[in-house]
């Protein structure tokens, strides 16, 4: 049994920690406020930007999973010290640093995204995410740490409750027969990465030395529009089809005056106005994790939301 440390307990961090427990590992989870204990997981209250304390928590760990994310409007200020701390802990302990990345660093592109694309984003959120990997990669190249990054598209699946994601915006209103609103073009193809597949990929690359030193795109199913995903979700839920409406730019402009989240989404609006497609063929050619079939993703996600909404009323 190996010891593993997961930083962050959002959807991806929680899924990764619980998968490690299922596989018989000892797991510590680092969050700012800590959490109540749960079987197999020790929760530690710690500001992960404190490199010395994080290093002490990570002593003896085989892998350190960086799944934390500050609030959107604090990315520019908080990502650099968080990345510096995580890299320092990886260097001091020898643990493999497994970073959960996203696709912001590429900026707008006109073709399916591969890992060979340059990190050419010009917006602050894209640049700060790109800089985090560039720092870890440079340290890896110097032989100071062992690092790998798994980049995922927008999360989909059980446990994804953030209002900015497909399931959280679509399933609750759909189950009540309400119209669905979405950013951008509801008919634009979009890649959705299933959350359990993200966790499985993070755990797989942690134990594969040949994966280290480069980024990988998490196994991701075929790109489907919000309208098509809504149709599939409605069919699984047994509800009548519901209208799917794109939010006009003027509405987003007004909303951004009052919502920090909507203000921050302006930078990545391009991801929803045009095709946003990830190519994960490199990962699938090298490793064993595959994207869960979309029908199974939809089935599990609808069941999870039914149970959640029943419990919360």
112-160: per-residue pLDDT in tens? 999 999 999 999 999 999 999 999 999 999 999 999 999 999 999 999 9
When comparing pLDDT for 20 and 70, which is higher? Answer: 20
- Within a domain: residue 283? no
pLDDT tens track for 80-117:
999 999 999 999 999 999 999 999 999 999 999 999 99
226 and 175, same domain (yes or no): yes
pLDDT at 1: 60
Tell whether 25 is covered by a domain: yes
Residues 227 and 82 grouped into a single domain? no
Tell whether 287 is covered by a domain: no
Q: Are residues 19 and 66 in the same domain?
A: yes
Q: What mean pLDDT do residues 240-250 have? A: 81
Residue 49 has pLDDT above 70, yes or no: yes
Q: Does 306 share its domain with 160?
A: yes
**pLDDT of amino acid 182:** 85
Within a domain: residue 284? Answer: no
My answer on whether 132 and 86 are in the same domain is yes
The model's pTM is 0.95
CA atoms within 13 A on the CB side of 9: 22
| Cα–Cα distance, 150 to 134 (Å, whole number) | 14
DSSP 8-class letter at 207: T
Cα 313 versus chain centre, distance:
28
Whether residue 104 is contained in a domain is answered as yes
Among the listed residues 206, 223, 195, the one whose alpha carbon sits nearest the alpha carbon of residue 280: 223
Do residue 160 and residue 231 come from a single domain? yes
Residues 65, 149: Cα–Cα separation, whole Å: 10
Q: Check which CATH number belongs to the domain holding 161 and give it.
A: 3.90.25.10
> What is the residue range of 139's domain?
3-154+193-217
Q: How many domains would you assign to the chain? A: 2
| Residue 111 belongs to some domain of the structure | yes
> How crowded is residue 39: how many other Cβ atoms within 10 Å of its Cβ?
6
């Amino acid at each position: 049994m190996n010891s593993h440390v997961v930083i962050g307990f959002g959807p991806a961090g929680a899924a990764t920690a619980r998968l490690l427990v299922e596989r018989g590992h000892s797991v510590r989870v680092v969050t700012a406020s800590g959490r109540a204990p749960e079987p197999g997981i020790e929760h530690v209250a710690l500001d992960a930007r404190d490199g010395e304390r994080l290093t002490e928590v990570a002593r003896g760990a085989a892998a350190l999973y960086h799944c934390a994310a500050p609030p959107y409007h604090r990315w520019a200020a908080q990502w650099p010290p968080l990345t510096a701390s995580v890299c320092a802990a990886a260097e001091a302990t020898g643990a493999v640093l497994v970073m959960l990345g996203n696709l912001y660093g590429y900026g707008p592109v006109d073709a399916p995204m591969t890992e060979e694309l340059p990190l050419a984003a010009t917006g602050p959120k894209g640049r700060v995410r790109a800089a985090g990997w560039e720092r870890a990669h440079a340290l890896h190249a110097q032989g100071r740490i062992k690092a790998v990054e798994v980049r995922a598209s927008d999360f989909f699946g059980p446990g994804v409750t953030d209002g900015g994601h497909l399931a959280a915006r679509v399933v609750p209103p759909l189950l009540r027969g309400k119209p669905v609103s979405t950013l951008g073009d509801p008919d634009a193809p979009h890649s959705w990465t299933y959350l359990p597949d993200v966790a499985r990929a993070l755990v797989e690359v942690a134990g594969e030395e040949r994966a280290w030193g480069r980024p990988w795109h998490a196994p991701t199913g075929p790109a489907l529009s919000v309208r098509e995903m809504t149709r599939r979700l409605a069919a699984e839920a047994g509800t009548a089809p519901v209208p799917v409406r794109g939010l006009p730019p003027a509405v987003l402009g007004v909303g951004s005056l009052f919502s920090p989240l909507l203000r921050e989404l302006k930078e990545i609006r391009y991801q929803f106005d045009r095709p946003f497609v990830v190519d994960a063929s490199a990962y699938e050619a090298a490793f064993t994790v595959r994207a869960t079939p979309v029908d199974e993703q939809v089935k599990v996600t609808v069941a999870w939301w039914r149970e959640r909404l029943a419990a919360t009323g």
